[in-house]
Amino acid sequence: MTTPLVEIRDLHFARGSRPIFDGIDLDIHRGKITAIMGPSGTGKTTLLKLIGGQLRPQSGRVTVDGRNVHTLRHGELYELRKRMGMLFQSGALLTDLDVYENVAFPLREHTDLPEPMIRDLVLMKLEAVGLRGARNLMTNELSGGMARRVALARAIALDPMMIMYDEPFTGQDPISMGVLVKLIRSLNDALGLTSIIVSHDVQETAAISDYIYLLSGGKVVAHGSPEELEHSSSEWAQQFLQGLADGPVPFHYRAVPYADDLLAGRETGGAR
Amino acid sequence: MLGRLQSLGHWALGTFERLGRASTLLLSILAGLPGLLLRPRLLIQQTFSIGVLSLLIIVVSGWFVGMVLGFQLYNTLVDFGADASLGPVIALTLVRELGPVVTALLFAGRAGSALTAEIGLMKATEQLSGMEMMAVDPIKRVLAPRFLGGVISMPLLAAIFSIVGVYGGYFVGVGLLGVDKGSYWAQMQSMVDFHDDVLNGIIKSVVFGVVATWIAVFEGYDAVPTSEGVSRATTRTVVHTSLAVLGLDFVLTALMYGVS
């Protein structure tokens, strides 16, 4: 078996005094779509930023294509990022450029290709996401789903080895959701990519992923193929996949006992 | 008492931390400047939107300040029979002081606030983060051209302000109040020294240009990425730039003219 494209070992990360990851291990295999799922606030987006080298962990190791992301020098990290695409939840399109220029942006920044070739490449990438006809629109004229597809075209502009999707399905109507689901799978297979999807949309993500990691409370609580997880005996997996309110993931945020809290108000005269 | 001391300490630590971050950012921007030479289009674009688009307010303000100086100074000078000196007095006031200072204050309001808001919103909408992940360094691509554009624009704007002001004074002094045209220009020519007056004015406006643009760019880059955060950062840009310009103007004036 080939070595994984991304290897995460014993990763610890905290924001201030709040721990986000408490020693997680993950493998992202080449050519596969790996989903990282978990309740809101478990640090899924943070994990992508750690893989992309935008954040540094307190301890642990993140290797991408055999290179430890957090020991690379600035220039080496930027070289590595040219081969990593990332799709932000908001799309992160440059608002002063139109659709065409947004997709051309990484090409213009990193290559000296002649203008006709840039045009061909941009049109090919836009065709792949079905938005060749929208090339002259400004970013504020795009719907949420279209903006994400333009961002996807931009992410594949430099033909990366992997793409990281940050919540690609959030706030999409059923049609654009279906389009995105299909696009992610077909781009992954057609371009030979490795994809990482961070999401909490269970049905859509499970439908296209080859492997799923479930995160909660800073740890990997379950992992396996979608079928394995569906039949897993793990309470975490069952609660998350079926959307149950009760289970190992508590409904209530940490607090002092309810009755004590109510009675305390009388003694302190209503202070919060 | 202890609480006050503690909050004073917090404030001091926070201030020093911000100063440190601002200085590191300035160094990174300076390191990114040589790369700009290869991409003059980026620089021209920014110099246009920071400098050229500020021209209107600078020209109008310069004209009015010059006219007001014409009235005020004439009234004082005429009492001593020195109204022929109106030209040099207006020119010296503008070139040494009002040109650089008022331009910097107007610059903070017109261009500085816009820079902060633009960069802050780019941060809030993840555009800067997106660039980083596309292996494009936002400090070199976004901040450096804006910084250099501001630094180039400020002395030019200050020069235009002073020139227009001199003509504003001429319009009032010579045109309306009857000062002799020949002595307005001739005395100005003989009394305004290039090294002592013009060059010192240019030095001031370059210093103000660096400080004003640095503050604007840093506040945007360091803004809390929410609408409230960007609004606070924009306000801070105008307030901090104005205070820094006035403070620095005092220091520079003392250094240039205070000790002889």
Residue A207's pLDDT is 87
Question: What digits encode the pLDDT tens for the residues B65-75?
Answer: 999 999 999 99
Residue B173's pLDDT is 92
Identify the burial level of A39 via C-beta atoms within 10 angstroms of its C-beta, where 0-12 means exposed, 13-18 middle and 19 or more buried: middle
Closest residue of chain B to A164, computed from CA coordinates? B133
Residue B25 to residue B221: CA distance in whole angstroms: 9
ipTM, two decimals, is 0.82
How many Cβ atoms sit within 10 Å of the Cβ of residue B49?
A: 17
Output the six-digit token pair for B229. 């955060």
Tell me how close the Cα of A229 comes to any Cα of chain B, in angstroms.
32
Measure CB to CB from residue B136 to each of A84, A88, A109 and give the nearest one.
A109
Beta-strand pair A6-15/A59-64? antiparallel
Residue A50 to residue A30: CA distance in whole angstroms: 19
Q: Give the residue with greater pLDDT, B90 vs A259.
A: B90
Tell me how close the Cα of B109 comes to any Cα of chain A, in angstroms.
22
Residue B219 has pLDDT above 90, yes or no: yes
Rg, C-alpha atoms of chain B: 21
Measure CB to CB from residue B133 to each of A52, A95, A109 and give the nearest one.
A52
Residue B259 has pLDDT above 70, yes or no: no
Mean pLDDT of B59-67: 96
What are the residues whose beta carbons fall under 8 Å from the beta carbon of B98, sequence distance 6 or more?
B65, B69, B161, B162, B165
Residue A37 identity: M
Residue B131's pLDDT is 92
- Nearest one of B96, B112, B116 to B104, comparing CA atoms: B112
Chain mean pLDDT for chain B: 93
> Poorest-confidence range of A139-148, B55-64, B66-75, B167-176?
A139-148
Residue B16 has pLDDT above 70, yes or no: yes
A54–B133 C-beta distance less than 8 A:
yes
State the pLDDT confidence band at B260, using cuts at 50, 70 and 90: low
Show the low-confidence residues of chain A (pLDDT under 50). none
Tell me how close the Cα of B65 comes to any Cα of chain A, in angstroms.
36
| CA angle (B12, B17, B18) in 5-degree steps | 100
Which DSSP state fits A249? S
Alpha helices per DSSP H over A111-167: 115-128, 144-155
Residue B200's pLDDT is 92
* Site from B38, B133, B140 to mutate, A interface, most A CB atoms within 10 angstroms: B133
How many Cβ atoms sit within 10 Å of the Cβ of residue A219?
A: 15
**What string of DSSP letters covers A65-103?**
TTEEGGGS-HHHHHHHHTTEEEE-TT----TTSBHHHHH
Measure CB to CB from residue A94 to each of B127, B129, B135 and give the nearest one.
B127
The reply to whether the predicted model has a pTM over 0.80 is yes
A106–B134 C-beta distance less than 8 A:
yes
Which residues in chain A touch residue B126, judged by CB atoms under 8 angstroms apart? 88-90, 92
Residue B35 to residue A177: CA distance in whole angstroms: 42
Residue B71's pLDDT is 93
B136–A92 C-beta distance less than 8 A:
no
Length of chain A: 272
HSE-up (13 A, CA, CB side) for residue A44 = 26
Beta-strand pair A33-37/A194-199? parallel
3-class DSSP state for residue A266? helix
Residue B72's pLDDT is 94
Residue B251 identity: V
For B244, phi and psi rounded to 5 degrees?
A: -65, -40
Which residues in chain A touch residue B125, judged by CB atoms under 8 angstroms apart? 90, 92, 95
B134–A105 C-beta distance less than 8 A:
yes
Mean pLDDT of B126-134: 91
Provide the CA A125 distance to its chain's centre, in angstroms: 21
Residue A1's pLDDT is 57
Measure CB to CB from residue B125 to each of A78, A82, A90 and give the nearest one.
A90
Contact A165, A195 (CB under 8 A): yes
For A200, phi and psi rounded to 5 degrees?
A: -125, 15
A110–B133 C-beta distance less than 8 A:
no
Residue A220's pLDDT is 87
Could you give the angle at which helices B113-124 and B144-170 cross, rounded to 10 degrees? 160
- Nearest one of A20, A26, A21 to A222, comparing CA atoms: A26
A82 Cβ under 8 Å from any chain B Cβ:
yes
Residue A176 to residue A161: CA distance in whole angstroms: 25
